[in-house]
Amino acid sequence: MPLIDHPLGGYRFLPGIAPYSCGVISAPGFEIVHVTLHRPAPYRRGFEVIGRHLASEGRPKAALCGIELRSPCPFSFGGFAEFNAGYARILEEWGLFVEGVNPVARTNVAPEVDPPGEPVLYGFSYSRPCDPLLPATIVVAGAGELPEGVLGAEGIVRAGDTSPEGIAVKATFVMNLMEHRLRGLGRDWSTVTAIDIYTIHPIGRLLPEVILGRVGEAGAHGIRWYYSRPPIDGIEYEMDLRGVRTELRIG
């Protein structure tokens, strides 16, 4: 799919499925800023936090281009669809959709230890003006071992296989998907500043070849491993990426 311009957002996006886009890249003269909430907020109230922050930066709601959520536990596919419907209504109320297409990238995972009691907002990304000579910045949405555009149990790669070999196959599939999204945004691993992995399965054996061996100079920034499950029951391994200059922590 070709990149789509957000007419008011200061970014372009790679279309995905109804709940989220596959990723975003800043438009010329803008950068994407990544924000982490020191204390995650219930996700509906979290949008109030986002609104206040954007207002303080002089940015419109349309500048919001990335959302990171944490859930109490993985959803069933049906439960995930129900949650996504409510989430999408908020984005629509904010006027973020572009000709009916959701432009906002998203990651939603379930911490295995001390999970929240309800879905919470952990972080978000937005665009703001910058020196037009600076390179573009990006956010790649989270994805697990499901083919692009598929949201059904029949698509899970090596479904039910949590052996070391099975997890390696899943991780390789997700790495390929991340690279595909990077290319879709017109970028490559050299532009990535943060690589996040979400799984409860050991990743030590994956690091040399499956992950670090493929990311090149991006490996200098390390890997963040969140001991969390992907958002849907039956999916075992998820990643997301970003390449930004500005990281903020609020709250």
The single residue listed with the structure tokens 């958002």 is: 231
pLDDT digits (tens, 9 = 90+) for 85-95: 999 999 999 99
Encoding tokens for residue 177?
A: 């998907």
Mean pLDDT of 53-57: 98
pLDDT digits (tens, 9 = 90+) for 236-247: 999 999 999 999
DSSP 175: H
pLDDT digits (tens, 9 = 90+) for 168-191: 999 999 999 999 999 999 999 999
Contacts of 182 (CB under 8 A, 6+ apart): 23, 138, 140, 188, 189, 191, 192, 241
Q: Which CATH class is domain 4-250?
A: alpha beta
